[in-house]
Amino acid sequence: MILIPVMFKDKDFITSFIRIALPIALQSLFIASLGIVDTLMVGRLGDASIAAVGLANQIFFLLNFTLFGINSGAAIFTAQYWGAQDVRAIRKVMGVCLLLGLAACALFSVLALGFSRQALSFYSSDPLVIELGGEYLRIVGFSYLATTLTLCYTAILRSTGVIRLPVVLGIAALCVNTALNYVLIYGNFGFPRLGVPGAALATSIARILECLALLGYAYLSRSPAAARPREMVAFDFQYLKVYFHITFPVVINEIMWSLGTSFYSAIYAHVGTEAVAAYNVAVTILNLSTVLFVGISTACGILVGHAIGAGQPERAYQHARRSLILGAGLAVVVGLALFVGRDLALSVYSLSAGGMRAAHDILGVLAFAVVFRAFNPTIIVGILRSGGDTRFSAVLDVAAVWLVALPLAYLGAFVFELPIAGVVICVMAEGLFKLVIGLFRVASRKWINTLV
């Protein structure tokens, strides 16, 4: 408790934290808010449409977290190199990051464009859901390259202190997405009524425009991310060995975690299409409620990385502690507000009666999961990874999904035949497992490693 007044007396920490966390939280707020708009717009087409778009986006979810792992690994080095003011090294990191990202992009683009029905049949046996989801996936797959470039350059820019511009461009792209949804889904202003494919087309256009604008800024402003091809490939075998020693566990971590989390959707789909639609609605509202924690996690990771790169391990540890304290206070407030206000939040949706009841129950359960949203990303991404403790964080993250949550969720859905809210409670065991072990690891300080 003594740390709280001391924390607010540290003006450098507060100023830096707010400067980084608030723009990122604002971007996340727009993403979550417009996610609600997307769900509302598609939701007017019926539960099957909500389920189809939600399940189709599981392919993007897998790509997104594979790229997140690649970019997070790059960001570990970038933040520490920026603390040491080594721009040449940052551009070498970019080169490896892009090569890995493009390889992942190629794999998922082939899956989305050529095998969409086969991919969706893993999640659902509902023919209508597979048909609608396949149409969505075959269109949105064309935007995967733009997403890959955007995420890589955004990660590098954020780690070098360029926070606001990627946020502004992301918000603009999401506004374009929403406007195009209104036009293309329902055929407003003389455009054809495309339904679910219209939502996919709107998403693709918005992502491509965002990518072009971000690349234009990066190179016209001569930012640290404005790397020429020869600068990006100026690495040797010894450099790659060090790089992969740290980043490989992060990439495997995100692939295995996202794959396991994607299996949750397959388990939810076993409960029924109505249950999948209800879960997608409830999670969208949860994402809106927890945007501040995205900013806290990212800001913590950048500040911790900068402090370690500058040779200040004690300051890095204090940044970690203070970030967790901020998250804990906010978690109590947000969790209570979500639990009390869930009926109001759900009142704007057009779910079936059964879907609305299920969404109400799920949201009541997820209100208690806010504490995991507050702590676990900050512990794993913001603290352990930024300190170079990538192997421990990978084992913790993957074990929580594959050894704890998935077996419990399977038993809940297939053996005990629990309702969807009960299966979600089983999945929440993942968060509790990571929280307890993660806090002990942070307190040990074994995660503080100088990499540059």
**pLDDT digit string, tens, across residues 375-418:** 998 999 889 988 888 889 889 999 999 999 999 999 998 888 88
Q: Which of 365, 367, 370, 371 is nearest to 419 (CA)?
A: 365
Per the structure, the complete domain to which residue 236 belongs is given by 3-444
DSSP 392: H
Domain membership of residue 257 (yes or no) is yes
The pLDDT of residue 336 is above 90: yes
Q: With bands split at pLDDT 50, 70 and 90, how would you rate the model's confidence at 6?
A: low
Measured distance CA(218)–CA(150) in Å, rounded: 11
Residue 239 has pLDDT above 60, yes or no: yes
What is the four-CA torsion angle of 263, 266, 268, 272, rounded to 10 degrees? 180
Number of helices (H), then strands (E), belonging to the chain: the values are 21, 0
Give the contacts of 208 (CB within 8 A, at least 6 positions apart): 143, 146
Q: Please state the domain count of the chain.
A: 1
Q: DSSP secondary structure string, 148-160?
A: HHHHHHHHHHHHT
Question: DSSP label at 2?
Answer: T
Q: Is residue 450 in some structural domain? A: no
The rounded percent of the chain whose pLDDT value lies above 90 is 19
Query: Tokens standing for 80?
Result: 């520490």
Average pLDDT, the chain: 82
Of 53-67, 334-348, 380-394, the poorest mean pLDDT is in 53-67
Task: Evaluate whether residue 91 is within a structural domain.
Answer: yes
> Letter for the amino acid at 308?
I
Q: Tell me the DSSP string of 172-240.
A: HHHHHHHHHHHHHHHTGGG----SHHHHHHHHHHHHHHHHHHHHHHHHHTT-TT---HHHHT---HHHH
Handedness of CA 233, 235, 241, 242 (dihedral sign): negative
Does residue 452 form part of some domain? no
Say which amino acid occupies 246: I
131 or 73: which carries more pLDDT confidence? 131
Distances, alpha carbon 15 to alpha carbons 12, 21, 284, 329, in Å: 5, 10, 30, 19
- How high is the pLDDT of residue 99? 87
pLDDT band at 2, cuts 50/70/90? very low
Average pLDDT over residues 267-291: 81
- Asked if residue 206 is part of any domain, the answer here is yes
Q: Looking at the domain assignment, is residue 83 inside a domain?
A: yes
Residue 110 falls inside a structural domain: yes
Which of 306, 380, 409 shows the shortest CA–CA distance to 78? 306
| Residue at 159 is within a domain | yes
Cα-Cα-Cα-Cα dihedral of 34, 39, 44, 45, to 10°? Answer: 120
Tallying the residues shown for the chain, one arrives at 452
Residue 288: its H or E element: helix 273-289
For the segment 67-73, the average pLDDT, to the nearest whole number, is 80
